[in-house]
Structure 1
Amino acid sequence: MNELYIVLIRAHTGLGKAARKITGYGYTHIAVCTDRSLTDFVSYSRRYHNYPFEAGFTHEYRDYYAFGRHDSVGIKVFRLTPDAEHYDKVIRYIRSCENDSEETFNLFSMMTMPILHGIRIYKANNCMSFTARVIELSGCVKMDREHYRYSIKDMDELLEKYFYFEGRLRRRTSPHYDEYMEPFEVCRFFKGMGRLICDLISRIISDG
């Protein structure tokens, strides 16, 4: 049986905590896992813990979510079982995102989601638009608007009948943790921010 796990994450990051206070909704990140072990997640997110603007398609692991002093993280999981044709579409989409060097992180859409409900930018995704596209390609549910307009809460409600688990996910050590937790450097932080913002503005202008 083909299985896809849509995983909502109660992020321990400062941005995650701020988002919960602003929205009143508990889950602030979303990812996809292709097996029930829930150890290798794919999403659009930061590639280094201390550098949120160095972001794009990435693999994430349990200790990326339960980092530092944290030994677990709160999650909510939905289990989809697409047929072979739709599952193949999902896997091909994931691989295309992973292998396309032009793909980047859609910071503008993420920041304005509560107001504008999604901004489409050429080859730019965030955790919401990527996961919503996976859900759409799975063929398991009918979506009433374009995939990039779905928030995490929208997907939570959309997948209600596919609920699988809600609780704590225990930390598990990954071989990439030390690299992910590279120390913070001010210059690198602002350089990454400037590069991403300029890239997104350039894409908006070119597409316009």
Structure 2
Amino acid sequence: MKDIYIVLIKAHTGLGAAARRLTHYPYTHIALSLDRSMTDFISFSRRYHFFPFESGITHEYRHYYAFGKHKDFRAKIFRLSVDKEHYEAVLSYIAECMNDRDMRFNLFSMATMPIIGGFRIPHTENCMSFTARCIELSGCAELRRPFWKYSIKDMDELLSEHLLFEGRIRRRNAPDDGYMTPFTPIRFLRGMIKLFAELTKRLFTGHGAK
């Protein structure tokens, strides 16, 4: 058997704080880890802290979640013990997403999840849909509706019997990998316009669908 960890994260971001006020639920980000030490995480997320629209599937690390004055972050961890066949199915899906340069971050679905339950755009994922698909492929829980309709809170409830840990995880110092690249308004706006335009095109034309 192999272990897969589903990690719910209370994000120290402005968007995270806004989401908590709207939903009255503490966890605003979700990731998968194959690493029991909780050093390396995989998710659909921003690749740079100050540029949320430059997003996609990426590896994340503890200093992405606890930065600056923050020494730790709150997390809830579930352990899924899976057989070889299901483990390889999850790995295959992760590799497919990693190797697909045409995959985009579904910001629109993420933003509307608390209101209308999100919606599908061809050939896109976000942290919730990506993780829910991995849970589905693991065979450890039965999804009773399409995976992209699952919120973080839904997955919290779905995996309750697999709870391993809830509490604070300490930050670890790491070499500068560019995640905290300084903010510039032009880059921020350029990223926003590019992502919005691509998602709108796919929403109405189906471009990018396989």
Paired residue for 2:182?
183
- 1:131 matches 2:131: yes
Q: Which amino acid aligns with 1:63?
A: H
The CA deviation at 1:174 is: 2.7
Matched AA of 1:110: M
Q: What code does the residue aligned with 1:186 have?
A: P
> How far is the alpha carbon of 1:25 from its aligned partner?
0.2
Letter in 1 for 2:74: G
Per-residue deviation at 1:35?
1.8
Q: How does 1:1-208 map to 2 (within 5 A)?
A: 1-175=1-175, 177-207=176-206
Tell me the TM-score normalized by structure 1: 0.97
**Partner-residue secondary structure (3-state), 2:38:** coil
The alpha carbon displacement at 1:115 in A equals 2.0
Q: How far apart are the structure 1 equivalents of 2:174 and 2:90?
A: 25
- After superposition, the C-alpha distances for 1:66-110 in whole angstroms (9 at most, x for unaligned) are 011111000000000111101100000001111100011100000
Shift of 1:178: 4.6
**C-alpha separation in 2, matches of 1:167 and 1:203:** 39
Gaps of 5+ in 2: none
What is the CA distance between 1:37 and its match in structure 2? Answer: 0.7
Give structure 1 regions of 4+ aligned residues with deviation exceeding 3 angstroms: none
Matched to 2:117, the amino acid is: H
Unaligned runs of 5+ in 1: none
Distance across 2 between alignment mates of 1:84 and 1:118: 32
- Describe the superposition over 1:118-166 as per-residue Cα deviations: whole angstroms up to 9, x where unpaired: 2111111110000000000000011100000000000000000000000
| Cα distance in 2 for residues equivalent to 1:123 and 1:39 | 29
Letter in 2 for 1:33: S
Q: In the alignment, residue 190 of structure 1 is paired with which amino acid?
A: L
Number of equivalent positions: 207
Q: Distance in 1 between matches of 2:177 and 2:50?
A: 12
The share of aligned pairs that are identical, in percent, is: 58
TM-score normalized with structure 2 length: 0.96
- RMSD of aligned alpha carbons: 1.0
AA of the residue aligned to 1:152: I
